[in-house]
Each structure stands twice: as structure tokens, then as C-alpha cells.
Chain A
Amino acid sequence: MTATAPLSLANLTAHYGATKVLDDLSLEVGAGELVSLLGASGCGKTTTLRLIAGFLAPTRGSIRLGDTDLTALPAHKRNIGLVFQNYALFPHLSVLDNVAFGLKQRGIATSEREARARRMLDRVGLSALADRLPGALSGGQRQRVALARALVIEPPLLMFDEPLSNLDAKLRIDMRVEIRQLQRANGTTSVFVTHDQEEAFSISDRVAIMDAGRIRQLDTPEVLYQRPANAFVARFVGFENLIDLRVTARDGARVTAEGAGGATVTLDQDQLGAIPDRFVLATRPDGLRVATGETGLPCTLGLRTYLGRAYHYQAETPVGPVTASGPLSQPLEPGGTAWLAPDPEQCCILPPEPA
């Protein structure tokens, strides 16, 4: 397969009319790497792909693929493989002609392009359907044709815009494994857009978490999941409890911090890393344990939910409502008083959120 190339987006800003949709976005995707853009609907994922594909011109910034500056290159000369959410197959062309379309544009002779298209259809397991029209295929089959059509031109860059959203759950998982295997085998640099966290984490080398036209954090799924860099990303990956705290006393590695309502917690810098004077303590429900030992954050227990491995409690504390967890062996009654202790293994220290 063709040499793959690193993709580099530098300071991309994009507008639709007067509305700013992308705000100074920079991103480096290494050669052969698969990076996902993950974020809620409307955060600018598709816009980013449209800029790279050349369907929209950035107001500012540049796009490079290997040694080529794509920024001013017309879309049809960019040589990028695209896979769309709604497949975007050519309804009037057979499956074979759909796959061969890109080769035809490259002036490749009929016999050779049909041979190559058939080989690619074989790889996605659809050789038997070569002569059908797209209308006669199932969703999963259509997306395989779209994948074959994008791969057959051997592009140095592949881009996927929520390619699995229209498929049912089981197929979605099969397809994402298949996409990842094909991408690995070809070593093609890839950008994968999705709003599904599990999908992004399972398929990617690195994930860029986006919000309001910016990348909030770009890292491996492991780091994102365990060490989010800011409150937005923390909430996104399930750190439900974000507590604003201010350091009141330092004693070696031990730090005492106070929150709203005068509640105090004691934390250990050896376990959590350096703690600045103002910070946010982030935990998932599993990282905030209910205890009756009268140390930690006092709270009034609310609703208890059974989750199989633990109980979760809605709890009211001086610093606001939180979700905590408790062992199955000791169910506690709503209305009772308890104390919450953060588990240092499952906590994060984040910079304070700008007001």
C-alpha cells in the first residue's frame, strides 16, 4: 500500500457566516496513527473533517499532509478517503462501479480498475454483491462498500464521520473492529469522528476531546480515562463529582483544603501529585466512599441505587450534591448521616475552572 503521511492542522479557525465554529484548533496525527475526534453534537467534529477534505475553507490556519500543503488545494485533488455516516454511495452505480469510481477518476484502465475493485470487495467480504445496486444492500453492507470505495484509492489519509451511527449495536462493534484491522493492516493515517466515548476509546491510538470548536485534551484513551486534564474532560469521562477546594494548611506532603460551607478534606501529595492553592478535586462515584467512621466530608444520604457491584448514593454535602458509592455488605438508609472519603487511587487534581 502507498506510503502513509502525518497530518498536521495548525491554528485552524472556521466560520459559518458570522458564527465561529472552530477556534484556533491544532492537531498532529502521526503517520499510521488513528486519532478520534470525540465530542457532543455540534462541537465542530464534522467541520474539522470538512476543512481537511477541502469542502470548507478555514478563515485562518493551515493543513498539511506529509510534505503537501493542502490548505489551498481543491477538494478533488486532496486524495483523501472519506467514509460518511449515511454511506453516501452512488445510488445509480453498481457496487463494483461505486468501488471503482475513484480509480476511474485516476485514469486507470477498465480491466485493471475492476480487478482492483473486486479485490477490495473481497477484503470486505462483499465479492458476491458486486453487481447489485446500493439500494439492495443492508446498512452494514453499504458501509462496507463505502469503506472499500475509500480504501481502494490507497489514500495517505482516511477520514470517518460517525460511520457506525446508523448501524445496530452488535454490527457497530463488529464494524469497528473490522475498520481498525483494515486501518492497521494498511497503516493509513486516520481521523475518526464519533460522539460515542466507548467507540472512540476502543478504536483509537489517541483521542481528541472537543468542545465548542476547540480540543480540550488530546491523549491516549488510558490517560484520558484516568488523568483528565481539566474539568470539562473529567466530566466527559465520568468524573461526576467536582469539588472546588482551597488549601488552608500544608504539613509536608499532607494538605488540608477547605471547600464551600467550611467542609475540610485532607489529601496526600505523594498519592495525588502536587496540589496548587486553588484546585478542583474530581472523583467518579466509585472514588468517593461512604463511611460511618466520622472522618472526611459529612453528608446526608439521599437516594440509593443498586448497581450490582456496589450501591450508589445521592448525597448532600456542604460543598453541594455528589454521587458516592458504598459496599454491598452495608446498605445505608436514605436520610441518615455519613462521611465521605475520597479514594486517592481514583481521584484527580484539576486546575480551578475559569469563572
Chain B
Amino acid sequence: MIRRLSPPLIVFAILVYLFLLGPLVIVIGAALSDTTYLTFPPQGLSLRWFEKIFEMSAFRRTIVTSLQIAFASTTLALLIGIPAAYALNRYRIVLPSWLSTLFVLPVLVPEIVLGFSLLRSVQVGAGVPVLIALLLGHTLIVLPYCVRVISASLASFDFSIEEAAISLGSPPAKTFFTIVLPNVRSGVIAAFILAFITSINDVSVSLFLTGPGISTLPIQILAHVEQFFDPVVASVSVLLMLLTVAVMVVVERTLGLTFLAK
């Protein structure tokens, strides 16, 4: 173990942390400001901009929508992504190699283009309701993360472990849940968190798919800053951050523990 760090390294590490954490500090500071405009450092301390969020029905509604969409699209992407990643790894030798590329394609297409084409085809073309279109769009953008992250976990999984379980009398479907899943638990958790954050922060795809009366939080923030310059955007951003962290902790706890209990 190297215990003593060189001074330049320490300075460099501090700079990196400043770079990463600086914006967070500024946003949190601005959110707590007692002024009617965005400012940093905060002048006076108050929680009134947090209270303001809940007085504005547009924010209340979009927070709920964003959470719903994030949960639903993440769940849907995991339901598709886990079996897909499993099949891609389990049958890697027999499957054509372009198949795994297929699942990263949505990442390669600029999200603006993806959003626009979804708008044209799904919403306008097929007449799918706004909420469903949003859900589909978000699922599409988070699916590649799920497949990739879980694939990475499965790549180091030795499938003869699965065969050992089957040979000992465990039916294949049951084996998947009792043997395979517990061993890619960390991958599933990472995929969940990554997908959830991607969905809840998404602007470009949502921009096209939100419709009358239905919007997501980032789009609402965008709409708000176009008209107002009050600290409510900062406080709502802080709230979004807190929600995300809360979800991460809950997922880590619940998924982590249920898998271990098996």
C-alpha cells in the first residue's frame, strides 16, 4: 500500500473534485438564496424557493410524470435488457455479431433526431398518446445502457455454473433466477441507476414527445427559465438531485438485499 501521496497529486485531486462538485455547490447555494433572482453566493438563507415548487402545479405535476416515466422506462428496459444481455452472452458463439451492435444503435443516433423521428412516427403517425410515446422514447434511450452494463457483468459469468445447477436438478428457468441473476446483481443495480438518471435528466427526446398538459421536469425547467429568472429552477434542480440519490439508495438496498436473500 502506498500511504504517502505526492503534493502535486493532492493538488490535482482537489482540482478534479472542485471541478466536479463546484456546479453542485453553486446550484445548492443559489437554491437557498433569499433573493428573487438567481445569484451566488446566496444572499440570506431561506427555504422559500423550495416551498414555491410545491405551490406551482406545473412543477408538482411534472415531478410526478418524470418519476413515473423514469421508473416505468427503467423497469421496461430491464425487462427487455436482462434477457437480451443474457441471450447475447449465452449464445455469443452462434449469434451473428451485428445483433449486439443493434442494442447500442440508439446511442449512436443523436437524441434530437431520435426524438424527432419518434414524434413523426409514433406520436403523429401512429397516434400514440403522449404519456405512452414518452415511455417508449425513454425506454429506447435507456435500453442500450441496460444491455451494455448487464452484458459487461455477464461477460465474466462462467455459464458452466448455470449448467452445474441444471445438472444438479434445477430447471433452467429457476436456475436463471437463483444462480444467474444473483451473480449479475451489481450489473443490474448499476443498469437501474444509470437508466433512471438518464431518463429523469433527459431533455432532447422529451422535448419532442411532451404534449399538451403532459411534460417532464427538465422540460418544465427549460420552459420556466425562458420566462423567469428566480431561484426556483435551482431549488427544483436540488430536489431532482435529492430524489435521484434517494432512488439510488433505495435500489441499492432493496435489489441488493433481495438478491442476497435468495
Binding site for B on A (CB under 8 A): 16-17, 53, 55, 74-82, 84, 86, 88-92, 101-102, 105-106, 146, 149, 153
Contact = CB atoms under 8 A, between A and B. Distances in A.
B179 interface: yes
B171 interface: yes
A55 B167 CA distance: 9
Interface residues on B, range: 10 to 19
A76 B163 CA distance: 9
Interface in B245-262: 260
B94 A82 contact: no
Nearest to B168: A102
Contacts of B171: 74, 76
B170 A81 contact: no
B168 A88 contact: no
24 contacts: A16-B94, A17-B94, A53-B163, A74-B171, A75-B172, A76-B166, A76-B168, A76-B170, A82-B163, A84-B160, A84-B164, A86-B158, A88-B163, A89-B164, A90-B165, A91-B161, A92-B182, A92-B260, A101-B165, A101-B170, A105-B168, A105-B169, A105-B170, A149-B168
Please name the 8 residue pairs, one residue from A and one from B, whose CB atoms are nearest each other, closest first. Answer: A105-B169, A102-B168, A88-B164, A88-B160, A82-B167, A92-B182, A88-B161, A76-B166
Given A17-B94, A92-B182, A92-B183, A86 B167 contact: no
B80 to A, nearest CB: 25
Given A76-B166, A102-B169, 6 more contacts: A76-B167, A82-B163, A88-B161, A90-B179, A102-B168, A105-B170
Nearest to B260: A92
B183 A86 contact: no
Contacts of B260: 92
Nearest to A78: B167
Nearest to B259: A92
A113 B133 CA distance: 52
A153 B169 contact: yes
Nearest to B185: A92
B179 A75 contact: no
Contacts of A77: 169
A91 B183 contact: yes
Contacts of B170: 76, 101, 105
A341 B161 CA distance: 55
Contacts of A106: 169
A110 to B, nearest CB: 15
Contacts of A91: 161, 183
B163 A89 contact: no
Contact of A89 (B161, B166, B182): B161
A97 to B, nearest CB: 11
B10 to A, nearest CB: 34
Contacts of B164: 82, 84, 88-90, 146, 149
Contacts of B169: 76-77, 79, 102, 105-106, 153
Contacts of A92: 182-183, 260
Given A76-B167, A82-B164, A88 B158 contact: yes
Contacts of B163: 53, 55, 75, 82, 84, 88
A189 to B, nearest CB: 15
B183 A153 contact: no
Most chain A CB inside 10 Å of its own CB: which residue of B160, B167, B171, B175: B167
Contact of B168 (A16, A17, A86, A153): A153
Most chain B CB inside 10 Å of its own CB: which residue of A82, A88, A153: A88
A51 to B, nearest CB: 13
Contacts of A78: 167
A55 B179 CA distance: 17
B31 to A, nearest CB: 42
B165 A75 contact: no
A79 B166 CA distance: 10
Contact of A101 (B94, B160, B168): B168
A74 B164 CA distance: 14
Most chain B CB inside 10 Å of its own CB: which residue of A16, A74, A75, A149: A75
A153 B166 CA distance: 13
Nearest to B163: A55
Nearest to B182: A92
B262 to A, nearest CB: 8
Nearest to A92: B182
Nearest to A84: B160
B167 A80 contact: yes
Interface string B225-241: 00000000000000000
Contacts of B160: 84, 86, 88
A338 B158 CA distance: 57
B167 A75 contact: yes
Interface in B72-94: 94
Contacts of A146: 164
A80 to B, nearest CB: 6
Interface in B147-191: 158, 160-161, 163-172, 175, 179, 182-183
